[in-house]
Amino acid sequence: MMNLTKTALLTSVVALTLSFGAWAQDSEQPADQDAEQANEDTAAPVIDATADTVIATVGEIEITLGHMIAAQSTLPQQYQELPDDVLYDGLLDQLIQQNALAQTIEDDLSRKSELGLENQVSGFLAGEALKSIADDAVSDSAVQAAYDARFADQEPAKEFNAAHILVETEEEANEVKTQLDEGADFAELAKEKSTGPSGPNGGALGWFSKGMMVPEFETVVMDMEPDAISDPVQTQFGWHVIKLIETRLQEAPSLDEIRAELENEIRSKAIEDTVENLTEGEEIQRMEIEIDPSLIRNLDLLSTE
């Protein structure tokens, strides 16, 4: 039983890399029609399998369909996209290789390997626990509560649609303002005079809300009325002449629009709270001893135990 347990644990933490390259190459190679026909003629009968169905053995170790399913669920996305038959053969080869390799050392594990294995197992179980905690925390009622908490009492924010002409000096800005006061077209003048990236687009900045522009610019815009043109305004970028085109009130997004964001917040909060409660509980004891922190780099300690 001990050997079986060791092997099972070892194979659960070995990186799934031994035959992946071959899978991808095999899946891209054109199949030989004669070989395919021969395989069909000699194929084993299809059975009603369960997770306990034994697919292969390595010594005394049984590799079941369940092992293959568990391994498949952890594969990177590029391997998930392989055809089922390629994935099946590749996973079976992988698990056979892992178990064969694991058995070469399972009866003679070094202290470092034993401790590393314990860390790997606890890490895997912790990951499973976190996934369960996160999934259990998300429900329609929890998402609705999170949405209400964020938006129920929130006043609609004001948004601004503006354009500007950016020049280097105050003198240039005053000249631009004079031309605009005399009836020059704002967009055409922006294309001609503005040094900012919005110049070729007639100075259009699009919609923005409070906090998105530098303070000097934002303060002026917020005091303007639609269609008004400002006096020159200096910021770190130069001198601006601003035209406020229109304003609107930003309505709260619908629940469906931010459902994914809210669900992620709920999961994160559930995990944070659970971890905090578990690690600060009475069962956790940190020994009141002092150890030289540099000892964590001393691998020789593992070879002397």
The two structure tokens encoding residue 128 = 């499973």
Residue 152 has a pLDDT of: 81
CA distance 27 to 200: 50
Please tell me the predicted confidence (pLDDT) of residue 25: 52
* Pure H helices in the chain: 2-13, 20-28, 33-42, 65-72, 77-80, 84-103, 111-137, 140-151, 170-181, 186-193, 215-222, 259-279, 300-303
| 46 or 76, greater pLDDT | 76
CA distance 159 to 29: 56
Contact 240, 165 (CB under 8 A): yes
pLDDT mean over 19-33? 50
pLDDT band at 30 (very low <50, low <70, confident <90, very high): very low
Cα distances (Å, whole numbers) of residue 205 to 187, 242, 245: 12, 10, 10
Q: Which has more pLDDT, 119 or 153?
A: 119
Q: Which residue has the tokens 């991808």?
A: 24
Domain spanning 157-250, CATH class:
alpha beta
Rg (CA), the chain: 33
Band (pLDDT 50/70/90 cuts) for residue 12 is: very low
Instruction: Give the pLDDT confidence score for residue 15 in this predicted structure.
Output: 43
Specify the pLDDT at position 63.
Answer: 95
Predicted confidence at residue 48, as pLDDT, reads 87
DSSP, res 229: B
Asked whether 267 and 245 are in contact (CB, 8 A), the reply is no
Confidence (pTM): 0.57
Q: In what order do the strands lie in the sheet with 157-167?
A: 204-209, 157-167, 238-250, 233-235
Strand partners, 157: 250
Tens-place pLDDT, residues 139-190 = 999 999 999 998 887 778 899 999 999 999 999 999 999 999 999 999 999 9
Q: Determine the Cα–Cα distance for residues 181 and 229; give it in Å rounded to an integer.
A: 9
Predicted confidence (pLDDT) at residue 39 exceeds the cutoff of 60: no
Query: Could you report the per-residue pLDDT of 243-287, keeping only the tens digit for each?
Result: 999 999 988 889 999 999 999 999 999 999 999 999 887 788 888
Instruction: Give the model's pLDDT for residue 33.
Output: 52
> Would you list the domain boundaries of the chain?
2-106, 157-250
Tokens of 239: 């001198």
Residue 155, pLDDT score: 79
Residue 104 has a pLDDT of 87
- Cα separation, 50 vs 44, in Å, equals 17
Share of the chain above pLDDT 90, in %: 65
pLDDT of amino acid 304 = 55
- pLDDT band at residue 34, thresholds of 50, 70 and 90? low
- Average of per-residue pLDDT values in the chain: 86
